[in-house]
């Protein structure tokens, strides 16, 4: 399948890196010393469209990128966790109101991610469950060296939370990296 990209939309691979959470991120107020945190970032200088779009559009573009193998893994995850009484992504996605993405506010959902906070350049999403709570920050940094950050924080509540994170962590990292790469390669959907 060929891709038709507006001029300057292409993204050269290998530019995504593991990073540290910027001190001004909304996620900093949520993170506690024993929490699991990972941060990935990428250069946004070649994607001015991602610098100018609404932060909710950017979050949807990053978190809902079409990654077929990841969708299959989430379906498998849902089958495994339902008997344990944990929330499933398919159930949470049903709560995603069909309103315009730019109109979504705190408490609404982008796919299965609940919105907790929104600023012009950062959105904090996540979910609370009995085994762990998690937050995902999608943040862009403006200036001479614009960057896109995707950060995750997991607050584990019990043994199930620690075991769950240990099992899914390699998949989580691969999904985040693939989603970020796809978001940087693919044009924004109208």
pLDDT per position as a tens digit, 67-78: 665 565 556 555
116 contact partners, CB below 8 Å, separation of at least 6: 106, 124, 125, 126, 135
Check residue 183 and give its pLDDT: 86
- Phi–psi pair at 18, nearest 5 degrees: -70, 140
Say if CB 75 and CB 82 are below 8 A apart.
no
Q: What is the pTM of this model?
A: 0.80
Residue 66 has pLDDT above 60, yes or no: yes
Mean pLDDT within 156-170: 88
Give the range with max mean pLDDT: 56-65, 68-77, 117-126: 117-126
Q: How far is 110 from 123, CA to CA, in rounded Å?
A: 11
CATH class of 19-185: alpha beta
């Amino acid at each position: 399948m060929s891709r038709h990209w507006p001029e300057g939309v292409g993204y050269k691979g290998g530019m995504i890196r593991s990073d540290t959470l910027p001190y001004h991120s909304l996620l900093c107020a949520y993170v506690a010393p024993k929490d699991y945190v990972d941060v990935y970032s990428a250069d946004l200088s070649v994607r001015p469209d991602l610098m100018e779009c609404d932060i909710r559009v950017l979050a949807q573009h990053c978190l809902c990128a079409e990654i077929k193998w990841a969708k299959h893994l989430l379906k498998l995850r849902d089958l495994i966790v339902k008997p344990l009484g944990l929330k499933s992504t398919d159930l949470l996605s049903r709560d995603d109101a069909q309103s315009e993405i730019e109109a979504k506010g705190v408490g609404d959902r982008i796919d299965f991610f609940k919105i907790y906070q929104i600023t012009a350049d950062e959105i904090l999403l996540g979910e609370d469950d009995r085994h762990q709570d998690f937050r995902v920050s999608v943040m862009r940094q403006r200036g001479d060296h614009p960057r896109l950050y995707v950060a995750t924080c997991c607050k584990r509540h019990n043994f199930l939370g620690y075991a769950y994170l240990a099992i899914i962590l390699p998949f989580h990292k691969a999904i985040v990296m693939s989603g970020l790469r796809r978001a940087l390669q693919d044009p924004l959907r109208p």
